[in-house]
Amino acid sequence: MSNGPPIIQVSGLKKSITNAARTVKILQGIDLSIPRGQFVAIMGPSGSGKSTLLGLLAGLDSPTEGSILLDGEEISGLAEDQLAVVRGRKIGFVFQSYHLISTLTALENVLLPLELAGESNGMRRALELLDRVGLAGRSDHYPIQLSGGEQQRVALARAFMVRPPILMADEPTGNLDSANGQHVLELLLELNRTEGATLLLVTHDATLAGHADRIVRLRDGLIVGDDLRG
């Protein structure tokens, strides 16, 4: 890990939703600093604010209050088109439900982030990533032709396509059986190590979290534990 400035810096982060006369406080003031290259597992019971926090850090939602710096860049006040540019350059995201595009092949799904960034020379890297996740022979298959484990492996390859400095994953093994979950975990750790990304992972899986450098625990929208491991 780097001794330089943190790659993620969060100060006074709050998120609430108002419905009619009722305001629901989801995050109640989060302060968090993550050094470059660290693997952080975010844990807590359902409703604790884990996925909301990850979505805010990824620029998928806007905070009610507070500041988020990604790689030195303040994102909490950016317009959606500006956020999209930041996400495209700095963040790879892996969802629990894969979020592959059904009309694109595995190879086309992996190539998509580069094409959205306006680049067209990523074929070699896309094929290399599919090979590294064990799907070199399935590049022309559509998501419906792939198992859940295979779809999540395509999603992993896609997340690493643009060599993002930050990888975020929301319950990446949540929809998989234990064997496929273990395989995806091993691939995630291997790709993270070889690509050198900072890894933030929301999970209920203690086995998965056990591989992290640090475990941050949330409850009722607050950090109630922050443990740096061995």
> Mind giving me the DSSP string for 75-111?
-TT--HHHHHHHHHHHEEEE-TT----TTS-HHHHHH
Backbone angles phi, psi at 90, to 5 degrees: -115, -20
Please give the C-alpha separations between residue 220 and each of 8, 11, 14, 126, in angstroms, as whole numbers. Answer: 22, 17, 12, 40
**44 pLDDT band (50/70/90 cuts)?**
very high
Report pLDDT digits (tens) over 160-188.
998 899 999 999 888 888 888 888 888 88
- Say if 27 falls within a structural domain: no
User: Residue 48 sits in which domain range?
Assistant: 36-63+78-228
What mean pLDDT is predicted for residues 50-57? 94
- Say if 44 falls within a structural domain: yes
Q: Identify the CATH number of the domain in which residue 118 sits.
A: 3.40.50.300
Report pLDDT digits (tens) over 101-159.
999 999 999 999 888 777 778 899 999 999 999 999 999 999 999 999 999 999 999 99
Taking alpha carbons only, the member of 168, 172, 125 closest to residue 153 is 172
Q: Give pLDDT, residue 179.
A: 86
- Say if 140 falls within a structural domain: yes
- Say if 173 falls within a structural domain: yes
- Say if 70 falls within a structural domain: no
- Say if 155 falls within a structural domain: yes
- Say if 43 falls within a structural domain: yes
Strand order in the sheet with 8-19: 22-34, 8-19, 65-70, 73-74
In the DSSP assignment, the letter for residue 145 is G
Q: Give pLDDT, residue 1.
A: 58
The domain total for the chain is 1
- Say if 19 falls within a structural domain: no
